[in-house]
C-alpha cells in the first residue's frame, strides 16, 4: 500500500496527530488525518474496482473457453458417430469381400473339372 496517496504508517500518523495536538492544532490534525484516510479509502476502492473489472474479464474469458470446449465436445461426438458409421461400412465391406471370395472359390471348384478335360470344350 505504499503507493496509496498520502501514505503514512500508523505510527507516523500517530506522531503527526500527537505533535499537532500538542501545538494546539488538534482539529486541523484530525481533518488532515481524515483527508489522508479518505484518500486511502478512495485509492483502495479504485483498486478494488480495477480488480473486479479484471475478474469480470477473466470470467468472460472462462465462459468463452467453456463454450469452445462444448463446441469441441460436440465435434468429437460427431466424429465418433462418423467413425462408428465407417466401422459399420468396413464390416459390411469385409462381409461382401468374404462372400465374393467364397463365390470365387466355388467358381474355381466348378471350373476345375472343365480344365482337366479342356479338350472336350474345343
0.75 exceeded by the pTM? no
What per-residue confidence (pLDDT) applies to 33? 76
Which regions of the chain are under pLDDT 50? 1, 122
Q: Which three cell numbers stand for residue 10?
A: 500508523
Cα dist from 15 to 4, 86, 112, whole Å: 19, 83, 119
What per-residue confidence (pLDDT) applies to 9? 62
Cite the beta strand spans of 1-122 per DSSP E. none
What per-residue confidence (pLDDT) applies to 122? 47
What per-residue confidence (pLDDT) applies to 17? 67
Amino acid at each position: 500500500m505504499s503507493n496509496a496517496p498520502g501514505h503514512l504508517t500508523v505510527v507516523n500518523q500517530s506522531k503527526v496527530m500527537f505533535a499537532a495536538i500538542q501545538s494546539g492544532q488538534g482539529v486541523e490534525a484530525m481533518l488532515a488525518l481524515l483527508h489522508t484516510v479518505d484518500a486511502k479509502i478512495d485509492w483502495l476502492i479504485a483498486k478494488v474496482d480495477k480488480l473486479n473489472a479484471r475478474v469480470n474479464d477473466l470470467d468472460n474469458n472462462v465462459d468463452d473457453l467453456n463454450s469452445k470446449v462444448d463446441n469441441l465436445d460436440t465435434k468429437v461426438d460427431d466424429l465418433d458417430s462418423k467413425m462408428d458409421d465407417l466401422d459399420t461400412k468396413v464390416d459390411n465391406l469385409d462381409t461382401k469381400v468374404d462372400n465374393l471370395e467364397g463365390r470365387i472359390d466355388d467358381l474355381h471348384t466348378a471350373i476345375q473339372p472343365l480344365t482337366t478335360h479342356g479338350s472336350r470344350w474345343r
